Structure 1
Amino acid sequence: MAAVHERIAARTLTPGSRLPSIREFAQCLGVSKSTVVEAYERLRADGVIQSRPGAGYYVSAPLAPLSLSRTEPCRDRDIDPLWITRQSLDAAHDTLKPGCGWMPPSWMPEASLRRALRKVARSTGNALADYAPAQGLAPLRELLSHRLANISINTAAADILLTESGTQAIDLMCRCLLENGDTVLVDDPCYFNFHALLKAHGAHVISVPYTATGPDISLFENALKTHRPRLYITNSGVHNPTGATLSTDTALRVVKLAEQYDLRIVEDDIFTDFEQSPAVRLAALDGLQRVCLIGSFSKTISASIRCGFIAAPASWVEELLDLKIATSFGSGNLAAHITLAILKDGAYRKHVESLRQRLSDQRIRVAQRLATMNILPWLTPQAGLYLWCQLPNGIDAAAVARKALADHVVLAPGNAFSLSHDFSDFMRFNVTQTHDETVYQVLEAAMSDTPQNEKAQ
């Protein structure tokens, strides 16, 4: 394949030129004919060449000229809730990403992934090529039911729905529970993609300040009285971005108020395996009556294998199933089998145990290093990936993030997480992605280079 690309680049082969025959090219390169066949078929799939029955292979029309400006993420857009994700996903391989929301591959259970892939590949079932059942792989739903029981959420496998991801799970819940213009309550700050998803659904979004023990309960109640939101979306186990943990007292008040004001709650619980001891869950206190719980394994198994789930009130399951089929037809059968194989592997338990300790150590190291720059955490999290930190002297985090991006460092400025935009001098740091000293050097230079008129007043 490289040889063909080189000849096209050197104009030895031009559009419409006939490629050497399979036999000729095999002899020229000293490889087997089957290797040439495979290379030609891959090049054909890429649109580089085309086959003419009985006549051989020919160079296709050239691709559009490469624009270097399109090889990097768009950097001049406003720093909105999607900015951080787009910079992180589209970043070059040498870009450092302390602002992204996931762990680097070296932190993931690669050996377990390879074992699971081999096991599923050897299986004689339908995992490799068929659709999954509408509700998702039954053995995985059974296992999830047992796992949820460990955090006091008692639900049958029949009330668990598998999805492509945690994001798809939230999207399905919004489709199920919201109509255009409905009011939705979120935390301030909260996971920035909540804002983007709700905007896509045409929701009217309001926010309530989040404290070290959960939403400010007096303001929460006032929001329910004043705005009558239909839905509240939150994290409870480990809050994103703050790292706070919901207290039992606050959780009880939230559940009671939800019942009083006919509020539905989506509880995003994708960080559960990071906890040393489980925090209280709204779904457990509510008994899955008006609270649904969402989870996924992108953070602890693989961001590449997309597998999430919804544990919902029984009365919602049928409508969610219809919506799932209508919008995606089904969830990933292969991803579900791989996830099941890993969760049943005894090595996964050891992986998450070591991961918790490693995260704890890394949070301490990163906090100490940031402190030398007078960047201080809002609180000291007990678990999770993130430190929610305030920059010194009211420095505008968005201005710092733009400057850092020019040096190939993706940061997460605070107002991307905030509907009120009250966190202009805050940043979220992913401790697993903040190991390189270059991050701190670029951050310090960007902070020192932020002129006075770009600082928050």
Structure 2
Amino acid sequence: MNSRTGTRTGEVMDAIRRRMASRTLSPGEKLPSIRSFAAIMGVSPSTVVEAYDRLAAEGVIRSRPGSGFYVSGALPPLALTEVEPRLDRTIDPFWVSRQSLDAAAETLKPGCGWLPADWMPNAAIRRAIRRLATADDAILADYGGTRGSLALRRLLGRQFADEGLTAGADQILLTGSGTQAIDLICRFLLRPGDAVLVDDPCYFNFQALLRAHQARIVGVPYTRNGPDVALFTEALTVHRPRLYITNSALHNPTGATMAPQTAHRLLSAAAAHDVTIVEDDIFAGFESEPSPRLAVLDGLAQVIRIGSFSKTLSASIRCGYIAARPDWVEALVDLQVATSFGGPSPVAAELVLATLSDGSYRKHLDALRRRLARSRREVAARLDALGLRPWLLPRGGFYLWCSLPDGRNAADVARAALRGTVVLAPGDVFSVSRSASAFLRFNVAQMEDPRVFDVLARAMAAEG
């Protein structure tokens, strides 16, 4: 959909095509008037007339004399990479995800968002698989219940209670993954064009998923103590969002943890503007002592908690959850039936339950936190020797958010590293405003192979 002409007329044509691709303009819908669209685009009315005439000649729109221009026929399929102007693929969330997910076995992935396979509790998982072989036939062959395993939901409820969050089994819905949990919430609460606040920077798949729901994404600058509360409050007033999506603990990508004062002020502002907060708690297991949680402070009145087990247990055993108000869970159950015909696989839920209940799992988490603490220190020192400075030293988790020296551009460094079969995560893939071009996010657990640092040094030298 990029303009072939490179002219202002071409820009107007591209703007109309993007509106059609994103479903902002539907078949049969009237286009903006020539004068109003000229004002929106900052061009002359004659430029819009020429653009509309060209689109009409292509059959994309049609003219009704005396009435205006209207969208023709059926809409093209929704192509997420065309909803907005095409990005440099190095900073496109879809491209970065594909590079990590489809990487060959020999590719090194310090830019990915999961732990290496040999860091996971594989012995406990194998024990659970052996027990599953003798399970009832129904678990191996039937659909899952609409809410998911009652035993697993009760276990989660007990874990939440240890934090101070009261959530009965009727307030917990198991889902196919953490991503599906957000997808269900978006289906439930959003309509195309609704504004959603995210941190800037934030987990890049938040942006990709919101684009799929045709939401208007608004970034709020993130500080070492959480989102900038003054700018958060201003965004609530200006954009009137339906949702705010965040990680309050061990924030992705920065590793920051929200301060108690920030959490209280954030909840007050959200309540005043009737904004629902989605708190992704996927990194909870990496904290030795829990930091402030919005869901705990709020009691699930204005906050929805989501999570999964892909970071600490297995990314292959897909199972997530939603904890929310009982009436909202009821509606989300229906949505999950409509889109997935039931909850997550009973096999996956049983494996998760058996592994979490295994006496070795708590020891696994303790060992994992110690190993990651050591890796963060060692990797930070090696990156520092290359001139890469962590924005902060996180209290847990596996991310380091690092600034590049001498004005280097992270996307250029990532392109150079990929030629050496090393996948990096450049800062602007996480930034709504594209203001993080001098940052890279590193996964310390994926950096034990010394080749990572050799390729990184060469890539930085090539782009210096």
- Per the TM superposition, whether the score is higher than 0.5 is yes
**TM class, shorter-chain normalised?**
0.7 to 0.9
What corresponds to 1:430 in structure 2?
Answer: 443
Out of 327, 332, 346, the residue aligned to residue 339 of structure 2 is 327
Rounded to whole Å, the distance in 2 between the matches of 1:327 and 1:410 is: 33
What corresponds to 2:330 in structure 1?
Answer: 318
1:212-291 correspondence to structure 2 within 5 Å: 212-291=224-303
Rounded to whole Å, the distance in 2 between the matches of 1:85 and 1:399 is: 17
The 8 Å contact of residues 175 and 322 in structure 2, kept in 1 or not, is answered as yes
What corresponds to 2:388 in structure 1?
Answer: 375
Q: SS at the partner of 1:205?
A: strand
What corresponds to 1:168 in structure 2?
Answer: 180
Rounded to whole Å, the distance in 2 between the matches of 1:112 and 1:229 is: 43
Rounded to whole Å, the distance in 2 between the matches of 1:319 and 1:254 is: 26
Rounded to whole Å, the distance in 2 between the matches of 1:398 and 1:256 is: 38
Q: SS at the partner of 2:91?
A: coil
| Runs of at least 4 residues off by over 6 Å | none
1:293-372 correspondence to structure 2 within 5 Å: 293-330=305-342, 331-372=344-385
Q: Deviations over 1:229-255 (max 9, x none)?
A: 110000011100000001111000111
For residue 324 of structure 2, what is the amino acid of its counterpart? A
Q: Is 1:292 the equivalent of 2:304?
A: yes
What corresponds to 1:124 in structure 2?
Answer: 136
Q: Deviations over 1:130-185 (max 9, x none)?
A: 11110001000000001111222110011100001100001011111101100000
Rounded to whole Å, the distance in 2 between the matches of 1:121 and 1:157 is: 27
For residue 199 of structure 1, what is the amino acid of its counterpart? R
Rounded to whole Å, the distance in 1 between the matches of 2:359 and 2:348 is: 19
For residue 138 of structure 1, what is the amino acid of its counterpart? L
For residue 379 of structure 2, what is the amino acid of its counterpart? V
For residue 249 of structure 1, what is the amino acid of its counterpart? Q
What corresponds to 2:17 in structure 1?
Answer: none
363-372 vs 124-133, which moves further: 124-133
Normalising to structure 1: TM-score of the pair?
A: 0.81
RMSD across aligned C-alpha pairs, in angstroms?
1.2
Q: SS at the partner of 1:374?
A: coil
Say how many residue pairs are matched: 377
Q: SS at the partner of 1:206?
A: strand
What corresponds to 1:405 in structure 2?
Answer: 418
Rounded to whole Å, the distance in 1 between the matches of 2:281 and 2:137 is: 31
Q: SS at the partner of 2:313?
A: coil
For residue 269 of structure 1, what is the amino acid of its counterpart? D
Q: SS at the partner of 1:161?
A: strand
Rounded to whole Å, the distance in 1 between the matches of 2:217 and 2:210 is: 7
Rounded to whole Å, the distance in 2 between the matches of 1:333 and 1:259 is: 37
Distance 1:344 1:125, change over 3 A: farther
Rounded to whole Å, the distance in 1 between the matches of 2:239 and 2:169 is: 35
The 8 Å contact of residues 428 and 435 in structure 2, kept in 1 or not, is answered as yes
For residue 250 of structure 2, what is the amino acid of its counterpart? V
What corresponds to 1:57 in structure 2?
Answer: none
Rounded to whole Å, the distance in 1 between the matches of 2:192 and 2:105 is: 40
Alignment gaps of 5+ in structure 1: 1-75, 452-457
Q: SS at the partner of 1:122?
A: coil
What corresponds to 2:190 in structure 1?
Answer: 178
Out of 389, 392, 415, the residue aligned to residue 405 of structure 2 is 392
Rounded to whole Å, the distance in 2 between the matches of 1:332 and 1:385 is: 28
Q: SS at the partner of 1:153?
A: coil
Out of 41, 65, 83, the residue aligned to residue 95 of structure 2 is 83
310-319 vs 407-416, which moves further: 310-319
Normalising to structure 2: TM-score of the pair?
A: 0.80
Per-residue deviation, 1:78:
4.7
Percent of aligned pairs with the same residue? 58
What corresponds to 2:110 in structure 1?
Answer: 98
Rounded to whole Å, the distance in 1 between the matches of 2:249 and 2:436 is: 22
